[in-house]
Amino acid sequence: MKIRTARPEDLDAISVLLTENALPASDISHELLRDFAVMEGDGGFVVGSVGLERHDSNALLRSLAVAQTVRNAGLGGRLLAHVEGIARDRGISELWLLTTTASDFFRRKGYVDVTRSTAPAKLQTTTQFAQLCPASAVCMRKIVSQC
């Protein structure tokens, strides 16, 4: 399986994958896809996704999802490591995320729980923070690059 930059024609497949994983998909747009990556399985089918929503030197980690048919093979970790590398290459110092189901996974990957109100103001105004993720979602942060 290979990881590649998402293309506009991947939007529908990413939306289906996110919906199947009970993740928000309504605000994923062609513009947002420029900072997304997908994992292709056999036959070129999208079996995983991950993205960044950049705001200055911070980014919201978005849409880390793996198809149920290929779970438990380390693909989520591979996608996460890939997007963290992209973040460092683009000068992003901190990654932030909201999760209702995967906090243990992210803790194992070095993310720490933080109070939602400590997130940068620009992140707090995103659709994900302001509308799509419930107040009960765990807010997490990881420093990926020291400026």
pLDDT over 70 for what percent of the chain? 99
pLDDT in tens, 99-137: 998 999 999 999 999 999 999 999 999 988 888 888 889
User: How far out from the chain centre does Cα 82 lie?
Assistant: 11
3-state secondary structure the chain: CEEEECCHHHHHHHHHHHHHCCCCCCCCCCCHHHHEEEEECHHHCEEEEEEEEEECCEEEEEEEEECHHHCCCCHHHHHHHHHHHHHHHCCCCEEEEEECCCHHHHHHCCCEEECHHHCCHHHHCCHHHHHHCCCCCEEEEEECCCC
pLDDT in tens, 64-76: 999 998 988 899 9
Torsion sign (Cα): 139, 123, 143, 28: positive
Topology of domain 2-143, per CATH? Aminopeptidase (3.40.630)
Q: Where are the domains of the chain?
A: 2-143
pLDDT in tens, 2-35: 999 999 999 999 999 999 998 888 888 888 898 9
Please give the C-alpha separations between residue 78 and each of 13, 43, 51, 58, 83, in angstroms, as whole numbers: 19, 19, 13, 21, 9
| pTM of the predicted protein model | 0.92
Question: How many angstroms separate the CA atoms of 69 and 102, rounded?
Answer: 18
pLDDT exceeds 70 at position 146: no
